[in-house]
Structure 1
Amino acid sequence: MAGPEQGAPPPPPPSSTTTTDALIAAAAAARGNAHAPYSKFKVGAAILGESGRIFAGCNVENAAYPQGQCAEATAIGAMVTAGDRRIRAILVIGGEAGAEELCTPCGGCRQRIREFASPDTPIHICDPAGLRRTFLLDRLLPDSFGPTNLDF
């Protein structure tokens, strides 16, 4: 999917059902490719970038702890590699269907998301059965340190 042309209207807002469904599909597909031979805990993530394109990633474990990589970090890397620099929405899918605990981004990934997102960016949390809850980044990382702290 190509980005918007200069002067073209912006893509639809990330809250639309169609966009959320596309994020779920991309994150679920990425989760299926996760490399989690040690924990057996597979996670997928999908980002809606500023261009309207979707970037997915999965967790990649490594025998030499802590050299693994979270799904969110993989998706952010794909987004940056493709030239986008702003996260409009992110979706994470992990855990088992109906599990009591939500699979929210770890602390490190919350900070990675903050680098490319604003405090009001939606973070959708899913399990294999579907959407469980939506948070705003500010709720998961309150009073965060980010790029604006370094504006001089």
Structure 2
Amino acid sequence: MNRTLYTLSLVLFTLFLCSCEGNTDYVHTIHNFHNERITVIHQYIVGGDALDQRSIEINPGDHKEVIYHSQLGGRSEPGPLFTYEDYLTVINAQGDTMTKDIYDDQYWEVYSTHEHKVPSAWRHDFHFSVKSNDFE
């Protein structure tokens, strides 16, 4: 009887640990080092095929999260810079579009944090800086 109870407890505990799926968060933040307010236009796919958009204003010296995605499974590697259907455009107060390529990995700083071990949870922060000379 004790052996059966022990075996059952061990099986249930193993199933519990296996069912604890981790999580990975991807956060894209834009820092405004420009001398005036900038606007980030974030276009994204909704419902599989519809394109929606939102505008995010960032004052000089401030920063804001512009994209946040979360997925199941703790992943230690940040992976590609953009993993979803997200399109970003940065414009200044005069309506000039930023000339620096926002999709070029070299302009993004990546910080990865292992937030929990069991279940494994990771956060990957992508930081992009906008400066005055990034506009025509």
Query: TM-score, normalised on structure 2?
Result: 0.30
Larger Rg: 2
Structure with the larger helix share: 1
Structure with the larger strand share: 2
Question: Which of structures 1 and 2 has the larger relative contact order (alpha carbons within 8 angstroms, sep 6+)?
Answer: 2
